[in-house]
Chains A and B, each alone.
Chain A
Amino acid sequence: MSAPQRIAALAALGLLLGAAAAPAQSPFALTNLGQDIRASDARIEGRGGWGAAESDTLSPSFHNIAGLPGLRHVAIAVCGYAALTASESATDSRHTSRVTTPSVRLGLPLAGGRAVVTAGFRALRGTQYTTETPLETLLPDPADPLGDPVVFHGSRTLVREGTQFEVPLGGAYRVNDRLSLGATLNLVRGVVRERLRDDIGTPDGTDDSPYVAVSEVLTDDISGLSTTWSVQARPWRELRVGATVTPGHGWDMTRTRDMLGLPGSRTQLYELRLPATWTLGAQAPVHGRWRAGGEFESQPFGDFSGNPIWETEMVDAWRWSVGVERAEQWRRRGGWRNLPVRLGISRQRWPYRVGGADVLETRIAAGTGLTFRDQTGHLDVALSYGWVGDREDNGLADRTWRLTVSLAGLERWW
């Protein structure tokens, strides 16, 4: 990678990291496990999200690490996305923006690329949203404290924030020309924090300071360990299939309740049992530079346990995606025709109901990408538009623009 390319990559990475504290995402993330914010890379996002059968040594994908064998260089990939969301309820609407915590993945080829060791960081689910609602409370009248109480007006602010992430450490091995296997051990950490604050103003409204202020914080610290097993095969001609499975596992939860102004806190330990996640995908050339693929992911959250409030709303989550991609070419004077083109669509059911109804999300995506000079890396972008929820069924609906950017650098470091 040349110096300007390194600078560009670092600048993009800095922007992603620096903007990670952006304020809000979907209101659907206000409850339960939060929103799925996994981002494999922009190449996969641009074609709808399928990549379980992906294997590309120039633009390596960590979606299924069984596709990594064959790497010639050390690969470092960074991916994140920014989203603009327009949400509406029956009475109000709100525009929000958020840049997610980027994922970082490393692939280190061994044995001439036949084996690859990988490590990294990836956000799983996130929640970042604030609501503010009017509040009325009866309190003694300062002018007549022993008389009938009077209505004091104020506001209730709920902030829910936190990210669940994993640090995968694993490897992949090419058994033969048609079969590769992979496995990762995933260290899961994270936090979900809810802060509720009631501010009740002075009765005459002449004082800026609240007359009564109450604030409590509930924090769930997450600690868990999971494994992911992967396989990729080429059973017939150029048809490639892949699968991953993350068996059901437990998260150790430490719940802490704090009340502002009260010394000490209350701590409770419990365990969440998460169901297995499995993914199946396939891809095949269809015509010329074009190929098509699809993927199905399932996580039967009906088997979730450990949080009675969440359990009652849990449903089996699934996601399917299909799309096509025109591969990049490097024909002299090819111009824009050399660029890769990706199109895709996905539909998924969130793992929990909102308003008593399933939350369904549909997303269409398009993307492209570029190879760095001397094939030292790849920059991919994807733009997608999604519909989340239904105002009639869920009481809420989102319309979301999402820009995903990923950078993959290939380097020979020794």
Chain B
Amino acid sequence: MSQSPPRAPLAPLAALARTAGCVLIAVLAGCTSDEANPVGSGLPGQLQVNTPQTVFVGTLAVSGRVAVKDASLSYDHNELLYFGNQDADASAILAHYDVTTLPDSLPEGALLDETTVTSVKLRLFRTEAYAAVPDSLVDVVHPLVPQNPQKVFETFTLAAPLDVALYPGPEPATAAQIGSQSGTGASVFLDLPVPQLLAWVASGMNGLLIREGEGSQPGLVGYASVDMTTSGYQEIDLVGAGTTVGPVLTVAYRNPAADLDTAFVFEPDADVSTFHVLAPPPADLAAGLEVQTHLRRYPYFFPDLAGLPDDILINRAVLRLAIDAGSFGPVESLVLHEVPLSLLAGRDTITVQEIEEAAVVSDGILAVDIGQMIYDEETWVGFDITGTVQRALNGALAPDTVLLLTAGEEFGGYQVSGNYSPDFYFGRMLFLGTAHPSLPPHFEITFTPFSGGGS
């Protein structure tokens, strides 16, 4: 069956053919196909993908709120001094001065009396968050954060020694009013009458209350506390590094012997905001959701997913919250954390460290300027919690997980600035509650049923 034995084959031709063959294969192997397009579409396949569907889940399986407090940190830690009123919130400024140290600033043997003290001014330093917009644009650009409102400052001496531990709380009893003056701008200088101030010094209690008087424009304005002299002065409007800030007394002293006038800055040894009127949080999530900073209060909740069908892929899950026009405050981030319910249930307060240790970020929105959003008539903020809902349905999320909505805490990765955290500026982001007839909070869940499901 074999052919006759061959003679010598054609070596050059064989080499040529081998080379040509290799080149042709290489060329063909290197040919690339055009990008895929509709050619061939429509042929019957085995696989069909279902169309995505969207459901709106408004029912919550669990909800509540919790305050963030740390017993080891005092209320006046890392604070601003809030002055004025905003809706249902109002605060005055309390300051205490250890006047026994005052002579240390004066020439040796100096006497404080009406002949040597020519004037005393109480100075307040406004913070940047309340002065970022030029006055000419205040009412246009940022109507909800009070920018440079005209205020009437009434100054009183205290009837009893100041105890900062009592605050936030009612205003203390006062002994006498020693000043009333209107002011605005980055720095407010309040003239205090020298005789009354000397009497205040002599009384030894040395506490002052600066309260908002009638005729003030609305708005809570944050002023620098004395603690910000060493940290956080960059948050203060129009002040250079090293400036002593807080409710400082500037005492003009005249040395008759030397015929010399000198000004001394005398800083308080304690200062605090009263927040003597604080709006209560919404009664429940039906009434609304509140994210309050400074005196931090955060809501938590989780959707009832029991109504979702089996064997579905969560394409997208978005929590949508409609903004309540009663919101106010500086720019803050909003972050949704996955937190075990066991950490929150039955507790009124929790420490930020506990949240940090337990929380996993689900989603966040950096730098929410809620005032601007309201001005722009934006209605919704949305959080993409697709991963959280996917894991919940896939059994990969701990069953007692809830979503805790916080401002941009330091550990969450959504900090607006490295200079302050949510316990610094006071603000209240309010969202409409589940009882709202047309804009309730809801989970918008888009899913695709698995084509192989149900078997």
Contact = CB atoms under 8 A, between A and B. Distances in A.
A132 B35 contact: yes
Contacts of A282: none
B1 A31 contact: no
B321 to A, nearest CB: 11
Interface string A1-36: 000110010011001101100111001101110000
A213 B315 CA distance: 6
A205 interface: no
Contacts of A31: 43-45
Contact of B25 (A99, A331, A336): A99
Interface stretch (B16-24, B189-197, B359-367): B16-24
A31 B3 CA distance: 44
Dominant secondary structure of chain B at its interface with chain A: loop
B28 A82 contact: yes
B33 interface: yes
B29 A18 contact: yes
A118 to B, nearest CB: 16
Given A146-B438, A149-B54, A30 B28 contact: no
Contact of B382 (A142, A149, A336): A142
Interface string B430-454: 0000000011001010101011110
A338 B10 contact: yes
Contact of B455 (A56, A213, A266): A266
B316 interface: yes
A72 interface: yes
Interface residues of A, number: 108
Contact of A11 (B3, B22, B30, B44): B22
Q: How large is the interface on B (under 10, 10 to 19, 20 to 34, 35 or more residues)?
A: 35 or more
B41 interface: yes
Contact of A259 (B14, B316, B396, B450): B450
Nearest to A16: B25
A262 B39 contact: no
A174 B1 contact: yes
Contacts of B6: 58, 328, 330, 371, 375
A172 to B, nearest CB: 11
Contact of A99 (B15, B28, B318, B450): B28
Interface in A54-91: 55-58, 67, 69-70, 72, 82-84, 87-89, 91
B165 interface: no
A145 B17 contact: no
A139 B9 contact: no
Contacts of A223: none
A84 B31 contact: yes
A94 interface: yes
B26 interface: yes
A212 B11 CA distance: 62
B313 interface: yes
A11 to B, nearest CB: 6
Nearest to A97: B31
A133 interface: yes
Contacts of A56: 2-3
Contacts of B356: none
Nearest to A31: B43
B46 A218 contact: yes
A52 interface: no
B32 A23 contact: yes
Given A97-B33, A131-B39, A372-B14, A15 B25 contact: yes
B431 to A, nearest CB: 14
Contacts of A200: 52
Contacts of A326: none
B313 A214 contact: yes
A254 B379 CA distance: 51
Interface of B: 1-3, 5-11, 13-15, 17-22, 24-26, 28-49, 51-52, 54, 56, 311-316, 318, 320, 379-380, 382, 390, 394-396, 438-439, 442, 444, 446, 448, 450-453, 455
5 contacts: A57-B2, A82-B31, A140-B444, A257-B450, A368-B17
Interface of A: 4-5, 8, 11-12, 15-16, 18-19, 22-24, 27-28, 30-32, 55-58, 67, 69-70, 72, 82-84, 87-89, 91-99, 129-133, 137, 139-140, 142-146, 149, 156-158, 160, 174, 180, 194-196, 198, 200, 211-218, 220, 257, 259-263, 265-266, 268, 309, 313, 327-328, 330-332, 336, 338-339, 354, 368-375, 379, 381, 395-396, 403, 405
| Among all A-B residue pairs, the 7 with the closest Cβ atoms | A27-B40, A19-B29, A257-B452, A82-B28, A330-B7, A97-B31, A266-B452
